[in-house]
Every structure is written in structure tokens, then in C-alpha cells.
Amino acid sequence: MPLVKNARTTTDLFVQIADGAELPGDGAILVPAARFLEDPEAVLKHAGKVGVVWPNNRDLDDLVPYLDRLAAVALVFPSFRDGRAYSQARLLRERHGYDGELRATGQVLRDQFVFMSRAGFDAFEVKKDADADAFAETMKRYSVFYQPTGDGRVTALNRRMQLRHSESAGQ
């Protein structure tokens, strides 16, 4: 499955570990939430980077104490109609200050790339190579937004205010 990061297809450094499977000695791993929560300290002692696959029906409060030690959080979109992972992403970025990789996985559709990015996702597991190629084009299409979000982009109102301020400062 292609992984899109920084508007291009990239190699996924993380290996997804199944429930009950033994952890490898090193390397980046993504473990299921249930497995992680059974013994988080043991998983976090892993020699490589650690990430967790977090379902959208699970409370983020269980994950928050470990965020500073997680290299990645993969939020699951079980259906394109189920947007709970958007809320989880915004909470992780804006309320909890998570700055690691925030990955969208599951039903990740090209029409939702911009919305996912605006919510704070910076990595996307897509089904087809064509979707990965479309990502860069989709992200270039929009440069100004009205709504503030956790992706750090300046809103249209803030741009106008900055322009007005710089014009008045130059007089």
C-alpha cells in the first residue's frame, strides 16, 4: 500500500505488527492499540521507533500519556462516511501538541486529502499509486483557507490583517 508524505510517495519505514505477533528486535513498528495498551512500557522499550494504530472509536485519553514517546499515530478511517478520526487528529495536534507523524489509514480517499491535511494528518496510506500521484496536485490546488485548523496555515482573515498591518506600518 503506497504511503504519501510531503506530497510524494515514500517508503514506509514502519512495519505493522499483528496482534499476538512477536516484536522484531529493531526497526520502526506500528502496533495495534489493544496490544499497546496491554503493556505500553514494554512496547516503548523497543529499539526502534514506535507507533500505534488507533481506532476512531477509542478514547484518546488512553493514548495521551505516551504521546511524547510515540513516533507515529495512525488514525483509522473504517469508512469514508465516518469522520471521527478527523476530530481525533485535531485533538492530538491542537489540544495535546502531538508533533510526530500523524497517519491516515483505512478508507483514505483522494477527495478528502485536503480535509485530512487541514485536520493535521501528514502521512496517508492510500490504496492505489494513482491516488498517491493525485495527492500533490490536490494539495497545490488550494492555497487560501477561511477556517483555522491545526495545520499551521494562515487563514484568509489573518492574511488580510497582516497585509493591512504591513501597509499601515509602511506609511
Confidence of residue 59 (pLDDT cuts 50, 70, 90): very high
- Whether 170 maps to a domain, the answer reads no
- Whether 115 maps to a domain, the answer reads yes
Residue 94 domain boundaries: 3-142
Number of domains in the chain: 1
Residue 71's CATH number: 3.20.20.70
pLDDT of residue 15: 94
Question: In the chain, count of helices (H) and strands (E)?
Answer: 6, 8
21 or 64, which is more confident: 64
Cell 488550494: give the residue: 142
Name the 3-class secondary structure at 83. coil
Nearest to 54 by CA among 132, 66, 152, 115: 66
- Whether 49 maps to a domain, the answer reads yes
- Whether 171 maps to a domain, the answer reads no
- Retrieve residue 92's grid coordinates: 492530538
- Whether 16 maps to a domain, the answer reads yes
- Whether 82 maps to a domain, the answer reads yes
| Ramachandran sector of residue 31 (left: φ over 0; alpha: ψ -120 to 50; beta: rest) | beta
**pLDDT tens digits, one per residue of 126-157:** 887 777 777 767 766 777 777 776 666 777 78
On whether the CB atoms of residues 105 and 82 are closer than 8 A, the answer is no
**pLDDT tens digits, one per residue of 72-119:** 999 999 988 899 999 999 999 999 999 999 999 999 887 888 888 888
- Whether 158 maps to a domain, the answer reads no
The predicted model scores a pTM of 0.84
- Whether 148 maps to a domain, the answer reads no
